[in-house]
Amino acid sequence: MSTIAANLQAVEATIQAACEAANRPRSTVQLLAVSKTFPAEAVLEAIEAGQRAFGENYVQEGVDKIAAVAKARPDLMLEWHFIGPIQSNKTRPIATSFQWVHTVERLKIAQRLSEQRPAELGPLDICLQVNISGEATKSGVKPEELEGLAKAVVQLPNLRLRGLMAIPEPQADPALQRAPFARLRALAQDLIKAGIHLDTLSMGMSGDLQSAVLEGATIVRIGSAIFGARHYE
């Protein structure tokens, strides 16, 4: 078995154990394999092991990899999620190549994605990224501005608002990992009470996946536990 296949099995076992501990069916959590910095060959290995949903952070790298993988496996329906920071001049390739975007934090970006989404692809699935760690990171809409942004995004014709995403400050102690995930879940519940339909909580990475599942994650974004350590040029 390849290393990637063995890693996927281990991650799957962790997700199953977390679902059991949380009393949730395994089918309520989707595993997104985050392939940033790894070549198309690594994605093809994961596909060989049964993985179908992949996350990318950098537009050009992602678009090139999507094309390379599609060329190698034209027989397969894959799901590609954009999970990186978005510059407003890079929205078009995101809107045309990806099915999901997890990192929408401004209305202007959402408007461009909606305008640039090709009609024949159907609506782009969107998560709003929320800054739940306060000052520590600058990414994400502030919780107090979330409802206004959500209400504007649901008006956009070619987007489908699915849920919320967050990247809490890394925290090695599992006892401290759950609080920010619980905050994200509470924010989603507030929006649902305000009449906005949501079904997705994108939260949890290699280091805090169990805590995220215990707090209701429906998509976990796992990179290094599947593909190994990343080396940036």
Q: Return the number of the residue (139 or 158) whose C-beta is nearest ligand PLP.
A: 139
CB of 219 to ligand PLP, least distance (A): 10
Binding mask 171-190 for ligand PLP (x = CB under 6 A): --------------------
Whichever of 111 and 224 has its CB closer to ligand PLP, that residue is 224
State in angstroms the smallest separation of the CB of 113 from ligand PLP.
17
CB of residue 120 to ligand PLP, shortest distance in Å = 28
- Contact residue for ligand PLP among 4, 11, 34, 128 (CB under 6 A): 34
Binding residue for ligand PLP, selected from 205, 212, 214, 217, defined by CB under 6 A: 205
Positive/negative CA dihedral, 22, 23, 28, 30: positive
Q: Which letter, b or e, does each residue of 214-223 get, where b requires 16 or more Cβ atoms within 10 Å of its Cβ?
A: bbbbbbbbbb
- What is the residue-wise DSSP string for 143-195? HHHHHHHHHHHTT-TTEEEEEEE--PPP-S-HHHHHHHHHHHHHHHHHHHHTT
* Rounded least distance, CB 189 to ligand PLP, Å: 23
Please give the residues from 55 up to 84 whose contact with ligand PLP meets the rule CB under 6 A. 57, 83
| Closest to 105 (Cα-Cα) out of 136, 134, 145, 135 | 145
How many residues of this chain bind ligand PLP (CB under 6 A)?
13
Q: Which of 8, 36, 150, 217 binds ligand PLP (CB under 6 A)?
A: 36
Which of 99, 133, 171, 206 is close enough to bind ligand PLP by CB under 6 A? 206
221 counts as binding ligand PLP under rule CB under 6 A:
yes
Planar angle of CA 168, 28, 215, nearest 5 degrees:
35
Q: What is the DSSP letter of 233?
A: -
Which of 95, 167, 191, 212 lies at the binding interface for ligand PLP (CB under 6 A)?
167
Stretch that binds ligand PLP, among 86-94, 154-162, 183-191, 202-210 (CB under 6 A): 202-210
**DSSP string across 48-94:** HTT--EEEESSHHHHHHHHHHHHHH-TT---EEEE-S---GGGHHHH
Give the nearer residue to ligand PLP in terms of CB position, either 72 or 207.
207
- SS3 at position 22: helix
CA distance 42 to 33: 11
Q: Does 101 bind ligand PLP (CB under 6 A)?
A: no
